[in-house]
Chain A
Amino acid sequence: MADTDRDADFTAYVRARQHALSRFAYLLTGDPHSAEDLVQAALAKVYGAWDRIGQIEAPEAYIRRLIVNEHTSWWRRAWRHRERVDSDLITVMDPAAAVRAEHDGDLWAHIQTLTPRQRAAVVLRYYEDLSEAQTAEILGCSVGTVKSHTSRAIASLRLKMKEVVA
């Protein structure tokens, strides 16, 4: 594929999917700057392999796996270095302006305390509405591990709620 065709093909794909990918990355990271860096990092890798990925009928799962792995690798390194992102490719509505109950804010705060793999499992299962098998495929683990991640997330939420009430 010629470079210009390749770039055009890649650009068209990204423009069609960047909203969805940005939302996914935001739910994983919890802040727009990290999400933007995460999406950019993943898309840069996708671009490098676009000749191959572009031929896949549905590259979405592959790209989500890239995003999840990139995010997990940040944390596995104990901490991460981010490019300073000053642009506003991703914007998040002021939570105060959003129609959102206060307890959802509490739950959102709880989600951000989950481990990266638990959070990825929760986001894939309950935001993307993927099956356990699909989630396992993206996470690169077994269905049993997905069940374990989500059940632990639910258990920790239940515990948190008990603490709040107590």
Chain B
Amino acid sequence: MSDLNHNPQTGSDADLESAFRTALKGRAAGVAAPGDFAPLAIARRRRDQRAKGAIGAVAFTAVLALAVPALASGDREVPVLPASTSGATGSVTTDPTPSTPPTTPPTTTATTTATAAAESTKSAQKQASSASSWAAGDRLHVGDRTIQLEPGTVVASFAVVDGGRIILDSSVGVDGPAELEVLDPTGRTLTSIEPWERGPGFAWSASPDGAKLLVSDGASLTIYATDGRKLATRPDARAAQAIVGGLAYASAPAASSTEPSLEWNYLTDEVRELPPGLRAVTQDGQRAAGYQIPPTKDGAKGCWVTYQLASPEDRDEHCVGWFFPMRFSEQGTYLIGGSSFDDGRGGLGNGVKNLAVVRVSDGSVVVGAESGDDQLLGWSLQVSADETSFLVSRRTTPLSDERVPNNTLARCTFDAQCDEVAPEQQGPRTWLGHYTVAR
């Protein structure tokens, strides 16, 4: 190319072709392949085949399985997290939560309740993995594994489900096209859900056992097996909120909507209306939580509610206007939420939130506050499977600071003892964090 540089504007095609040849052959000359590809390729092929088989088996088992739900309803007294956990210390550590071995396959029945019970038991494995997983920039940390995504990937939300598969909502760059995918445990894409965007009505929720994915796109609700098979679809503008067993739950995206929420049995196509604002369902499929703005009150002041799905009229109401529920903890003892209504994109939305955890039994706030010293600012939070601690992506610079925020990842007990899991980093843009905790 040096000879071309003498006269770049008139370099002939032949000269440029020659330049390509020289550069390519020169580069290739430096490449060596000293390893042995064959056994790895054979192993990869066999693993891929096993993964395909396992996905089918999981989906089948989820429909027919029965197990006793292992609910241990804790009602522990835990103090409010103090003003700030910024005093968190400790070196960067890898996840301390060990993986839970797979449960024994349960025996069979075909009722929706039984399926939910099976999912509840199986979800212990899922939650253990999800509770110990986070994204740091363009890398996923899943247990003791690190998965490198495309450089520049921004993770909006993700979940680690049964069998180690990953549901990932992400984009390359902040403004890149969003993509919702199911990855195998190594990070390879099994299927991509389309269409997928970021906007009102677009939301996803994985079943507790990870076998099914409920997706909404603002016009329809669709249930996928996580191998990509479309199981059922229904024209409906409501946003996906939860799927447990054969029952899918959806509600209007807007917090102020009075449109009834939906329970859809996708196996029979029967539907039932539920109170507006449903946002979460326990993993045993028994209880729901939501947000309601009483029509007779000031729209700025709402209440979060929980109720038994079997009798929605009997509800517990807690009128703490700033708390918007998003999901239950593993055993249903706590509700995770925040100051801003979840937009369904995961975490608590892309923007920083005032995070909180409330106890379902009495409505008390155990982590976070509307304002003041107990306020916990961050992007995402997950309570551990045993409900003794939580992993949080925290904002460590005040909201008044309009520069790119600093962000740490910490694991905290409910008595405010925190260990830093990953060091402080800056987010990719002013409102984004570097770390995203798995759902």
Contact = CB atoms under 8 A, between A and B. Distances in A.
A78 B179 contact: yes
B31 A92 contact: yes
A12 B382 CA distance: 50
Contacts of B310: none
B188 interface: yes
Interface string B340-384: 000000000000000000000000000000000000000000000
Nearest to A83: B186
B172 A126 contact: no
Contact of A90 (B2, B32, B172): B32
Contact of A79 (B1, B26, B147, B172): B172
B183 A81 contact: yes
Contact of B20 (A11, A81, A93, A122): A122
B149 interface: yes
A40 interface: yes
A18 to B, nearest CB: 5
Interface in A1-15: 7, 10-11, 14-15
B37 A89 contact: yes
Interface stretch (B6-14, B119-127, B400-408, B427-435): B6-14
Interface in A75-102: 77-84, 87-93, 95, 98, 100-101
A46 interface: yes
A104 B26 contact: yes
A158 to B, nearest CB: 6
B23 interface: yes
A10 B11 CA distance: 45
A158 B45 contact: no
A164 interface: yes
Interface in B107-147: 145-147
B34 interface: yes
A62 interface: no
A46 B5 CA distance: 43
Name which of B42, B176, B192 has the most chain A CB atoms within 10 A of its CB: B42
B45 A93 contact: no
A154 B8 CA distance: 12
Interface in A142-166: 150-151, 153-154, 157-158, 161-162, 164-165
Given A83-B186, A111-B23, A127-B28, A88 B42 contact: no
A27 interface: yes
A92 B49 CA distance: 31
Interface residues of B, number: 58
Given A157-B16, A158-B16, A10 B42 contact: yes
A18 B2 CA distance: 32
Interface in A50-80: 77-80
B147 A81 contact: yes
B44 interface: yes
Given A78-B179, A81-B189, A90 B41 contact: no
Contacts of A44: 41-42, 44-45, 48
A161 B5 CA distance: 7
Contacts of A40: 37, 40-41, 44
A10 B23 contact: no
A14 B153 CA distance: 33
Nearest to B2: A103
B300 interface: no
A106 B1 contact: yes
B23 A107 contact: yes
A122 B16 contact: no
A93 to B, nearest CB: 3
Contacts of A39: 37
Interface of B: 1-2, 4-5, 8-9, 11, 13, 16-17, 19-42, 44-45, 48-49, 145-150, 152-153, 171-172, 176-177, 179, 181, 183, 186-189, 192
Given A15-B36, A81-B181, A91-B34, 7 more contacts: A11-B42, A18-B36, A35-B31, A81-B189, A88-B35, A104-B22, A107-B23
29 contacts: A10-B41, A19-B31, A22-B32, A23-B31, A27-B28, A44-B41, A44-B45, A44-B48, A47-B42, A78-B179, A79-B153, A80-B150, A81-B188, A81-B189, A83-B147, A83-B188, A84-B146, A88-B34, A90-B33, A92-B31, A95-B30, A108-B23, A111-B20, A111-B24, A122-B20, A127-B25, A153-B20, A161-B4, A162-B8
Q: What are the nearest 3 A-B pairs in CB distance? A: A89-B35, A93-B30, A43-B41
